Amino acid sequence: MTSPLIVPASARPDAEGSVLRITPESAGWQYVGFEALKLEAGQRVRRETGEREACLVLLSGRANVSTAAAEWTDIGGRMSVFEKMPPYSVYVPSGDRYELTALTDVEVAVCTAPGRGGHEARLIAPEQVGAEKRGSGSNERLVHNILPEGEPADSLLVVEVFTPEGNWSSYPPHKHDRDALPDESLLEETYYYRVEPSQGFAIQRVYTDDRSLDETLAVADGQAVLVPKGYHPVAAPAGYEVYYLNVMAGPIRTWRFHNDPDHEWMLKK
């Protein structure tokens, strides 16, 4: 039986190219929305943002993107996320619109959260994306900070992570499910997975201190995981590299996490 925390992808895109869609209503929470689109060359999608801001992440392929007041042509550099170049993305505020036209086959992540219309639409080019190695040894991973809290937005935080085969990430286990600043922030989170080779899988555990939530998930290429609360470490099995795109949002736009005390000791090694 599939876990209710796993959101599977459709076998075929719908008329707008959507293969996976998460809304606050479908997730049973308040803030984060996520959608994966797969468009063929020449296909176009047009949306109003309404009361939500959006970050369009070009996971692969090239496209033209326009908003009510701006336009960017032929953006996108990598043809697979596993090329590991930072992506092109477009931030679109609430009360705006966007139109995306695929120039090649394109995979696009549409990340949304409540907006206040306080920022201009803008291109986030690869050179504006902070790249860093986190961890060491079997805990090392590559992180691309696409829309971190230091960059303008109302609610959204967006990051992508590459976990080498045999390694762990989102580790040691941490959580951010309490509005208890400055120690911890309340952030809902989605993980959108790609696996190379694609027949592989990732392992993710989602659990709380009292174990009222405690699930260990085998996540396939193209699936997403909901993290409404609790710790949420990830492992990449031998032979398979794991990519995931994280979208986070909550009442305050800051990332402050709490490590599982049982495993925090390893940070002091």
pLDDT digit string, tens, across residues 8-46: 999 899 999 999 999 999 999 999 999 999 999 999 999
Burial, 37: exposed, middle or buried (Cβ in 10 Å; 0-12, 13-18, 19+)? buried
pLDDT confidence of residue 118: 82
3 state DSSP class of 83: helix
pLDDT confidence of residue 267: 85
CA–CA distance, 28 with 38 (Å, rounded to integer): 25
Q: Residue 259 corresponds to which tokens in the numbers above?
A: 């490590």
pLDDT confidence of residue 1: 61
pLDDT confidence of residue 55: 98
CA–CA distance, 50 with 93 (Å, rounded to integer): 9
3 state DSSP class of 132: strand
Per-position DSSP letters for 201-227, written without gaps between them: EEEEEEE-TTSSSEEEEEEETT-EEEE
Distance of CA 124 to the CA centre of its chain: 15
pLDDT confidence of residue 154: 97
Whether omega before 4 lies within 30 degrees of 0, making that bond cis, reads: no
CA–CA distance, 28 with 36 (Å, rounded to integer): 19
Percentage of residues in the chain with pLDDT exceeding 70?
99
CA–CA distance, 200 with 218 (Å, rounded to integer): 10
Percentage of residues in the chain with pLDDT exceeding 90?
95
Distance of CA 10 to the CA centre of its chain: 18
CA–CA distance, 46 with 88 (Å, rounded to integer): 18
Q: What is the pLDDT of residues 123-176, one digit of tens each?
A: 999 999 999 999 999 999 999 999 999 999 999 999 999 999 999 999 999 999
CA–CA distance, 155 with 208 (Å, rounded to integer): 24
Q: What is the mean pLDDT of the chain?
A: 96
pLDDT confidence of residue 2: 72
Q: Residue 243 corresponds to which tokens in the numbers above?
A: 């990519």
CA–CA distance, 171 with 218 (Å, rounded to integer): 17
Q: What is the pLDDT of residues 64-92, one digit of tens each?
A: 999 999 999 999 989 999 999 999 999 99
